[in-house]
């Protein structure tokens, strides 16, 4: 996969040992249809097709996103009311480590029916301000819990056992020549609860390690831009 180098974003992550890892994002990728059970993924693709969302040509999918959209922010501006987040984890490749952090992929659902890749480039990928070294949690990755709330109501809950592993994506990045400092990859998401309202004004996502009780989180408000003039 070739990537286009565009404006980059500098991020900083607090690590459990008290140090800070800094990275300038040069490549941002969003995994999609990345459930551990590809039979379940196929069923999900069929459900989305009924809603008008184009089916991917291959699963799991990988969508390049403009690097400046990797943000540690508390506010996400949007143009209309049909946008929503997704609970995810993210890999961050630094000069010395591969980090794991929490993320929320904010997506334009109205644009999604015209192209998933387009919708991913319409809003930021919000990342947490703390991270773990992947090597420190790799042996218990499947037990790590992933939860999201929209306007204070739980909208997603599961474990990383539901998603393709970070190690899977590390190998994919290596094969693509992208396992290099500055690469950030978001995991894809877990199912939303039935009957929830995803078009919320506030989002919060947590990664929790039951072995230590440590929690990584990100949260933000969704703010509507003024109406266009002209």
Mean pLDDT in residue range 174-185: 98
Please name which of 109, 65, 66, 63 lies closest in space to residue 84, comparing C-alpha atoms: 109
What pTM does this model have?
0.91
Mean pLDDT in residue range 139-150: 98
- 146 has a pLDDT exceeding 60: yes
- 206 has a pLDDT exceeding 80: yes
- 12 has a pLDDT exceeding 70: yes
Q: What is the pLDDT of residue 224?
A: 92
Q: What is the pLDDT of residue 202?
A: 97
Q: What is the pLDDT of residue 196?
A: 86
Q: What is the pLDDT of residue 4?
A: 47
Q: pLDDT-derived band of residue 230, with 50, 70 and 90 as boundaries?
A: confident
User: Per-residue pLDDT tens for 126-136?
Assistant: 999 999 999 99
Instruction: Characterise 215 by phi-psi region: left (phi > 0), alpha (psi -120 to 50), beta (else).
Output: beta
Q: What is the pLDDT of residue 119?
A: 84
| DSSP state letters, 148-217 | EEETTEEEEEEEGGGB--HHHHHHHHHHTT--STTEEEE---PPPPTT-----SEEEEEEEETTTTEEEE
User: Per-residue pLDDT tens for 43-92?
Assistant: 667 766 766 777 777 889 999 999 999 999 999 999 999 999 999 999 99
**Where does 16-113 show beta strands of DSSP type E?**
20-25, 27-32, 61-65, 70-71, 75-78, 83-84, 87-93, 98-105, 107-108
């Amino acid at each position: 996969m070739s990537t286009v180098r565009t404006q980059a974003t500098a991020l900083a992550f607090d690590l459990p040992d008290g140090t800070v890892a800094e990275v300038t994002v040069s490549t941002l990728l969003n995994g999609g249809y990345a459930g551990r059970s590809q039979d379940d993924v196929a069923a999900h693709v069929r459900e989305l097709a009924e809603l008008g969302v184009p089916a991917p040509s291959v699963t799991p999918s990988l969508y390049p996103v403009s690097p400046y959209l990797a943000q540690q922010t508390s506010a996400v501006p949007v143009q209309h009311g049909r946008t929503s987040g997704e609970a995810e984890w993210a890999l961050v490749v630094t000069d010395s480590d591969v980090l794991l952090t929490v993320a929320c992929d904010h997506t334009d659902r109205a644009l999604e029916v015209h192209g998933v890749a387009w919708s991913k480039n319409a809003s930021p990928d919000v990342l947490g301000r703390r991270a773990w070294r992947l090597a420190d949690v790799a042996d218990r990755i499947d037990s790590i819990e992933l939860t999201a709330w929209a306007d204070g109501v739980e909208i997603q809950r599961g474990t990383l056992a539901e998603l393709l592993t970070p190690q899977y994506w590390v190998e994919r990045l290596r094969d693509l020549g992208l396992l290099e400092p500055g690469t950030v990859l978001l995991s894809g998401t877990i199912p939303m609860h039935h009957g929830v309202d995803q078009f919320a004004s506030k989002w919060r996502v947590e990664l929790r390690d039951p072995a230590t009780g440590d929690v990584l989180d990100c949260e933000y408000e969704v703010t509507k831009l003024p109406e266009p003039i002209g």
